Amino acid sequence: MHEKKGKKQEEPKQKLTSLEELGEFGLIDRLTTPFRTKNPTTVMGVGDDAAVIDTGTGTDGACPVHTVCLVSTDLLVEGIHFDRTYTPLKHLGYKAVVVNVSDIAAMNGIPQQITVSIAVSSWFSAEALEEIYAGIRLACEKYHIDLVGGDTSSSTSGLIISVTVIGTAPKEEIVYRSGAHPGDLICVTGDLGSAYIGLLLLEREKKVFQANPGMQPELTGFDYQIGRFLKPEARTDIRSLLQGIGVRPTSMIDISDGLASEVLHLCNQSDAGCRIYEEKIPIDPHTREIAMEFKIIPSVAALSGGEDYELLFTIPQSDYEKIRDVAGISIIGHMTVPAEGKFMITPDGKEVEITAQGWKAF
């Protein structure tokens, strides 16, 4: 007699996690959490606007200054971060630098060098690439930084630009996302939401063009909004402005993904809650009008639009008198203890929980 052989029991299939389920920051955490820093020169690795590397002690005149190096990288991918239908190549090169310089500004540092890596299809002309690098050169001149290297490669999926920026700052002047305390005032530079409205205007005219290529785009009168999207500026001026009035931020971040996303980063990394006031959020009057024409609540454009590259920072309440009358800086709320949650207060006093609904990489 032969024993019957039973069927081999199949092992249960492992459930795979989608990138959409994790989101950009969840993916970053999942990929980088197993890593441990080994070098004492690594002061800050993953988790802020830029990495912080200790380069030792330098000198500032007769005074010793402990200087650290700041490093940040951003990737711009065609079809994801930009559309060549309405993005001039010179503007693209300029913006590729600015989004990185903004990260250094958010650490309260000074940008000094960049490397640029580019992957491009073979049907691009040398003249087209020269346009991109003309924009890069303009940004280098504007922000007093040097192009010191990079790489080039072919691409089968469109244009890809990766810029790495290197900056410096005295170690004691670095501002992290994690330094806010309950009671600190929440401040923002400039105005918010205009870049998103600029994008909507460009997308609207693209659809009109696709439907009727003979139509000319109607963009007259929208220079500010379109400029905020296509050619943003990094707020490198804020460092010296705050130093001039004797104010040192307790935490800081640049606004690339929308005010809501960034204020949540400060809260989560500082272990705090917050209250921001909708009527205090700075929005350009014309941007407000255009948002209403698009049937968008203006504060939603500011909270979730992104691409503004302004700075969001916190300061001690004791600095209120120093900053309250500074042009171009708005106090929009305050930090609280974690148990009080993270809310926006509407003009009629209602509490709306802040959620990150801005840019999603996946």
State yes or no: pLDDT of 14 exceeds 80. Answer: no
Mean pLDDT (the chain, rounded): 89
d(CA 187, CA 175) in angstroms, rounded, equals 14
Share of the chain above pLDDT 70, in %: 84
Q: How confident is the model at residue 8 (pLDDT cuts 50, 70, 90)?
A: low
Taking only the tens place, the pLDDT of each residue in 299-337 is: 999 999 999 999 999 999 999 999 999 999 999 999 999
Q: 220: which 2 tokens?
A: 């007259």
In sequence order, the 6+-apart residues with CB closer than 8 A to the CB of 200 are: 294, 296
State yes or no: pLDDT of 43 exceeds 80. Answer: no
At 52 the pLDDT is: 80
Q: Which domains does the chain have, with CATH numbers?
A: 39-173 (3.30.1330.10), 185-353 (3.90.650.10)
Answer for the pair 338, 253: CB distance below 8 angstroms, yes or no.
no
Q: Please, which residues bridge with residue 353 across strands?
A: 343
Taking only the tens place, the pLDDT of each residue in 72-128 is: 999 999 998 999 999 999 999 999 999 999 999 999 999 999 999 999 988 889 999
Give just the sign of the alpha carbon dihedral 209, 213, 215, 221: positive
Asked which of 114-118, 213-217, 339-343, 355-359 is least confident by mean pLDDT, the reply is 355-359
d(CA 130, CA 148) in angstroms, rounded, equals 17
At 50 the pLDDT is: 78
Mean pLDDT of the region 269-274: 96
342 versus 215: which is more confidently predicted?
342
Q: How confident is the model at residue 58 (pLDDT cuts 50, 70, 90)?
A: low
Residue recorded with tokens 């010191």: 148
d(CA 186, CA 180) in angstroms, rounded, equals 9
In sequence order, the 6+-apart residues with CB closer than 8 A to the CB of 159 are: 77, 78, 84, 118, 119, 120, 121, 124
| Helices 223-230 and 194-211, packing angle to 10 deg | 100
Residue recorded with tokens 């690339």: 256
Pairing of strands 146-154, 110-120: parallel
Asked which of 202-206, 251-255, 287-291, 340-344 is least confident by mean pLDDT, the reply is 202-206
State yes or no: pLDDT of 33 exceeds 80. Answer: no
208 versus 71: which is more confidently predicted?
71
State yes or no: pLDDT of 342 exceeds 90. Answer: yes
56 versus 332: which is more confidently predicted?
332
